Every structure is written in C-alpha cells, then in structure tokens.
Chain A
Amino acid sequence: MAVTALATPARPRLFAGPLVPRLVAGLAVAAAWEEAVKLFMPDYVATPIGILAAFPHVIVSAPFLAALAQTMAAVAEGVLIAVVLGTVLGLVIGRSLLAERALLYYVNAFYAMPILVMLPLFSLWFGYTSAARLATIVFSAIFSIILNVADGARSMPKDYLETARSFRSGRFRELFEVVLPAAMPYFLAGLRLASGRALIGAVVAEFFTAIGGLGYFILFNSRTFHHNEAFVAVLFLAGFGVGADALVTWGTRRCLPWYRRDEKAE
C-alpha cells in the first residue's frame, strides 16, 4: 500500500513572489489581532506587540534556553534511533516479499495511528520521565521512515541490481551499497516527515508528562498568564517545521543533484 507514494504536487517556493502585498497583509492581520485582544480579551493574552517585546528577553533567559536544549536533544536522539532502526526495517520490507507480507500491515496500522493514544501507555511503561518522551519521539518518527525507505527499495531500477550481481556482489553489500543509495531520495522525504512528527511527539509528551522542554515551557507560561512568553516558544516550534523542511530540501539539492525531488517526495 503506497501511503507515501501518492503524488503530491510540487511545493511552491516559500519566499518567491511579491513582497509588498505580503507585508501589508501581515501588518493588517497583526493589527487586527492586537485590536481584537485589546477590545475583547483580558490583558494577559498574547498580542503581536507583546510577543515582540517579550522576544529579546525570553530567548536569552535561562529557563527558555534549557527547555530548548532539552527538547532539541531529545528530538535529535529520537530521530537518530528512528533513522537507524527504520532504515534497516525499511530495506528488509522493501526487498523481501515475505517480510513485506508479514510486517507491512503492522507498519501501516502504526503509521495511521494517532501518536497521542500511545501517551498514556508510554507514561505507564516508562513512568513520567524523559524515557517516555524518547519513546514517543521514536514512535512518532520511525514509521514514516520505514514506509518511505521500503517504497524506495521496492521501486529501485532492476538494472542496478543486475549490474551488482554480475560483479558478484554479496547480499549484504548489495543492500547497503546499491539499494540504500538508490532509496536515498525516498529516505530524505521520509526524514522530512519524520522530523516534523518527532517534534510534535516531543511536545505532546511534555504536555502529558510535564517533563521539562519547550512543550512544558508553553504549558507552564500559559497557565501562569505569561502568554506572550509562551508564544515565543510556539514561534520556535513553527520555525523548526519550516527550518527542517528547508534543511532537507537543501540537503537533497546538495547531495543528490541528479534527483528532482519535486517528482517523488512525500
């Protein structure tokens, strides 16, 4: 089942196009937001000016930096685990019909499952600790990598393998030196999905278990009526999504220049 291979159209470039209408619209939305809060909402509610005012002192404050470091370290660790395990499983599922028939159903079911329902179970199994967060991140990230790598390994041109075979390449080397590089664009598309999902996994785990990190930073500040401060962290989360996307696109262009990712990604 090709969850990942459904054709999505080319992504438009983010900042191509006219600047003036964008600036005007942005300012208009910000002004409307500012006024609406002043008129209808209590004064602790976040406003654009409040967020701008809070931004400089929040991003250098110790609690924020600690939270940022904790969440980013956990996401990096979780994604790394998911990449290693997910690539191996994806290669096996993509190249072995038996493995595909036995395991693909599980992978698809877990991929479709909302991560949130696993939170209570992870907190039961790992306690209210950073291990529960790590488990949530790995669980969020791994299945899109498995599915994409399996997709890439399956749709590899036959000629590659035949060439490798004629040079008497062994099974193991074949998998890691022929199939894996051929599946690379798919892997990168999977990684892009996985990094976004991993960040959401980290935030919801922090909401659920109240362990330190950006998610908890948002929760704590919004509960203590520091909405402007909390919103700075939301901006970082949004920026992470856009940034991870740009990073993977750049990586694809840089390392796989022959591949036009618009055709297959996602």
Chain B
Amino acid sequence: MNEHESIAEVLALAAAGALDAADQRRVDEHARECPTCRRELEIWSVYSLGLGRLPQPAVPAQLMERTRARVWQERAAVADRRWNELMLTALALFAWTVGLTFWFLFRVLTGGALVIMGANLVRLGTWSAVSTVLVWLTAAVAAIVLGKRRRELRRVS
C-alpha cells in the first residue's frame, strides 16, 4: 500500500478527530499536496460536522419524575425486604432464647419429666421440635404484621 492509499484509508477518521497527532499531521501534509485526498477530507469533514448537529430527540415529559419515583419505589421495596428478613432473624433468635430458657426452667421445676399424651415434653428433642414450629410460625406472623405496618406508615408519611 503506497502513501496515498494508506492516507485515503484514514481520511474518515481524520475528519472525525480520531487520529493521534502524528497521523493527523501526516494526513494534513498529504492533503495539502493531493487534491483527491483534500476533496475527500472535505467531504468527510462535512459528514462529521453534520453528525455533531443531528436533530435532538425530545425527552418524554415527566421522564425525570417517573424515573425518580421508580427508583425510590424500588429502593423502598428492597429496604422492606431487608428489614423483614432482619426482623425475622431477630425474632427467631429471641424465640429460641426464650424457648431454651423455659426448657431449662421446666426441667428444673418438673424434675425432668412432663408427660403429655405419652410424650415427655421436657426431653430436649421433643421440646426443640415443638419450639421450632412455634418459633417460626410466630416469627413469620410477626414479620408480616410489622411489614404491613411499616408500609402503611410510609404511605401515610
């Protein structure tokens, strides 16, 4: 590829201001001597100029307000989910603590035997099974109730 051909390859980029300083100088120097490349460079320059002045699209009305509302709505939903998860975990831990404390007290007070319907409730396995069901049910109900209350408070505010 000779100099003319290699310059002709980059004329569009030269007009777009996309060449480094050395290549741009090479193009300019060649274009001064070569009428064909000069004419091509002028045409590409017109394109570049035109592309920088295209008609602008109208931004939809209320775009900013709708975007802002969607962002805060989404963030509130994420915050709610996180808060509910945190609350569920905290309540579960609290319930386990209460459950184990009561197990210890019952065990001391009943001497290690509290038989109901043939099952010794003070045995750790039975106590744990019953406690687990009660703990999760209570925590889930509490989280739902508290979550609803938070949403209502947010709506009011």
Do A and B make up one complex? no
